A and B are shown apart, each in its own frame.
Chain A
Amino acid sequence: MEDTSRTELLAVAAENVTFSYGHRQVLNGLSLRIPPKRVFGLLGANGAGKTTLIRLLVGLLKPQAGSIRILGEPPSPRLAHRVGYMPQLTALYQELSAQQNVEFFARMYGMANPSQRRQAVEEAINLVGLWDRRSDPVLRLSGGMRQRVSLAAALVHSAPLLLLDEPTVGLDPELRASFWEHFGRLTRQGVTLVISSHTMDDAAHCDRLVFLQDGRVVAEGSPAELRAATGTSDATLEDAFLHYVRRG
């Protein structure tokens, strides 16, 4: 197990975070330490608290108890330019083209220099393989293409931390593989990725994982460590997930 106790090195540190929507408790004293320059997977069933956790990390929600630090600071608009956020909904302006959407979010992230911004937009759209469709309105793009535009909008300002909420949902296997190749390249460049998912395909690509259940962390480790903990030599990640979730 790697040492993640030194908070100054952590990309994300959450301590005893509690959050509820009305009477429904979604996160229940959740603690998490995410080291930098890794792909960190938040795995859990629907309703486990993944999206709520990501929204708390982005600063869209405030914890009712506990504390969160992102890159050493509490989440705030001041910190927002150092974080790229891809929400679960594609959240794009349907009438605008892919390029206009990415360009708009680049400006929102404070990229004021037009030539630098143009280059960053071009790179982000190229990275997701949509340069040929850059002028098409988003509403004329397929679901997978919209996901790619959404990812480009999160990548455009080259943030050191990316919080991606189920980025691979609805993608075909080839596209999913290309997303993961790109995520790998980003971590080698020093970017930290926090990715929520409920599929074991995604989990296998992560450097470290947490399994979430009912707003709590039930297990944490590398995919190999989590598989090994089941005590079965040929256990899959799905076996590991079920092992921890059933144990609760």
Chain B
Amino acid sequence: MSWNRTTAIAKRVISQVLRDRRTLGLIFFVPIVVMSLVGFSFADQRFILDSAAPALLAVFALFFTFVLTGVSFLRERAYGTLERLLATPVGRGDIIVGYLAGFLLFAGMQSLIILLFTILALQVHYQGALWQIFLLLMVLTIVGVNLGIFVSTFARNEFQVVQFIPLVLAPQIFLSGILLPVAQMPWYFRGASKVFPLTYAVEGLRDIMLRGMGLLDVLPELGVLAAFAVALIVLATGVVRRA
């Protein structure tokens, strides 16, 4: 890997988004709108909102980062810039890590906005340290960015990326214990829930926010999420091919 090339790719991704004012606006505006709709619809049922908040944070952090990165990386293919990039001496790892670093800035800010809006505007009650909640969300965000890059390599256009959203995210939402506790599911769904990163993110966030646990207590969940992030970097690097 080349530090110079990796940072150049990250800088380029950041410059591109900063120059696209509408996209930039939507990145920050849409999560607030969505969280407002969700939050204020539970205005009279604070208990439900408090207990659903960890799951909502995790789902929206994963959803927004996956869509943002998936569509952006697809554009690299559609406009031929990825092919042009692969004709230079740049390594596949440089591309993936550079892209991850560039998008992590916006995806991380998006996750921070979702978190702060939930805490400050919706006034969700929580236990545990805010930075620990954010740290767990950031690891999930890295998973979302890499998942977006990985999945976009199988799509030929934006329409196909959109089709991947329910395919990739819906099973995670249904089977990660958000709607029904994992323990109450049939054995085959319990097994399936273990292969989804969202399961570990939701469980970790619940431990911190609802049960007041510390980072050491959620290390197993954090570790599995980190392993997902690394595995997806390796997978995404593997599918970006020169020839």
Contact = CB atoms under 8 A, between A and B. Distances in A.
A91 B84 contact: yes
Contact of B83 (A60, A104, A107): A60
Interface string B76-93: 000111011111111100
B4 interface: yes
A176 interface: no
A174 B207 CA distance: 69
B89 A110 contact: yes
Interface in A56-100: 58-62, 75, 77-78, 80-81, 83, 85, 87-96, 100
A229 interface: no
Where chain A touches its partner, the secondary structure class is: loop
Contacts of A100: 12, 15
B154 to A, nearest CB: 17
Given A83-B87, A89-B80, A110-B89, A59 B19 contact: no
Interface in A95-127: 95-96, 100, 104-105, 107-110, 112
Contact of A60 (B12, B90, B243): B243
Nearest to B75: A94
A58 B20 contact: no
Nearest to A105: B88
B12 A104 contact: yes
Nearest to B86: A60
Contacts of B79: 89, 91-94
Contacts of A153: 84
A171 to B, nearest CB: 18
Given A93-B16, A104-B12, A59 B87 contact: yes
Contacts of B87: 58-60, 80, 83, 85, 87
B116 interface: no
A238 to B, nearest CB: 30
A78 B89 contact: yes
A94 B91 CA distance: 23
A137 interface: yes
A81 B16 CA distance: 25
Contacts, number: 78
A77 B86 CA distance: 8
B5 interface: yes
B89 A109 contact: yes
B89 A62 contact: no
A108 B81 CA distance: 12
Contact of B19 (A77, A95, A104, A110): A95
B242 interface: yes
B8 interface: yes
A96 to B, nearest CB: 6
Given A77-B242, A93-B12, A95-B16, A87 B80 contact: yes
A78 B83 CA distance: 16
A15 B91 CA distance: 28
A112 B243 contact: no
Interface of B: 2, 4-5, 8, 12, 15-16, 19-20, 79-81, 83-91, 242-243
Task: List 6 A-B pairs, minimum CB-CB distance, nearest first.
Answer: A91-B80, A89-B80, A108-B88, A107-B8, A91-B84, A95-B19
6 contacts: A61-B243, A77-B91, A87-B83, A91-B84, A93-B12, A108-B8
Given A90-B80, A108-B85, 4 more contacts: A87-B80, A104-B12, A107-B5, A110-B5
Interface of A: 58-62, 75, 77-78, 80-81, 83, 85, 87-96, 100, 104-105, 107-110, 112, 137, 153
